[in-house]
Homo-oligomer: A and B are copies of this chain.
């Protein structure tokens, strides 16, 4: 079984190395960096399309372009799996662009190079089977479990609803708080230290991921509106209770 990872950005390089602990992995990158795990052979886009499975580790906003580039080169029976932080949009791109003979699996590993720095054991991976054989389904459930991951099966829409109010709100707040230039302090409370960790972790990810999370998840708009509503409500409440300007 040979997996072909498409994209060796920050997440792709990390994910390819985790997969290489359990199976053969090759990878294609438009601009390969020098610090790629030595077990991962670099291949051309054509060679990648020839793998048993293609694991897409590209920006959400690049999905349409990348899927259309590989659609005609992939053999019948091959499995294409995305790893995007939203699910409805990339799954619909794969469904509309890939031939009927190609298998489709949506995944979202709920971690990255920062949160998985000390190992990924017990961390959640969202698993959305779309068009997949019994054998392939068993193989990938098994693989992810062997990797120590907590497999959570969800429909793409359930994922997006839940992720908007978990990962989505965290990334949104991380960016808003970064804008305030908060700094480490000798009088930091434990809670404030956690706030700084959230900023660091979310802002370490590419800005593209932040924008894509807010743009391609159909539920983040409502999340942002709710957050703004609650903030305004508290500003008003403080004004009423304390008699001070909000």
Stretch at the interface among A11-19, A31-39, A222-230: A222-230
Contact, CB under 8 Å: B221 / A179: no
Contact, CB under 8 Å: B167 / A189: yes
Contact of A228 among B108, B159, B197, B231 (CB under 8 A): B231
Contact, CB under 8 Å: A170 / B198: no
This chain's copy number in the assembly: 2
The interface centre, meaning the residue of A154, A187, A190, A211 with most chain B CB atoms within 10 A of its CB, is A187
Minimal beta-carbon separation of A231 from chain B (angstroms): 5
Contact, CB under 8 Å: B180 / A165: yes
Contact, CB under 8 Å: A170 / B187: no
Contact, CB under 8 Å: B241 / A211: yes
Minimal beta-carbon separation of A150 from chain B (angstroms): 7
B-contact 0/1 string along A118-139, CB 8 Å cutoff: 0000011010000000000000
**What 7 new A-B contacts, CB under 8 Å, besides A166-B188, A194-B198?**
A115-B189, A115-B190, A124-B188, A166-B187, A167-B192, A170-B189, A173-B195
- A residues contacting B by CB (< 8 A) are 108, 110-111, 114-115, 123-124, 126, 150, 152, 154, 159, 162-163, 165-167, 169-177, 179-180, 182, 185-192, 194-195, 197-198, 201-202, 211, 214-215, 221, 224, 226-228, 230-235, 238, 241-242, 244-246
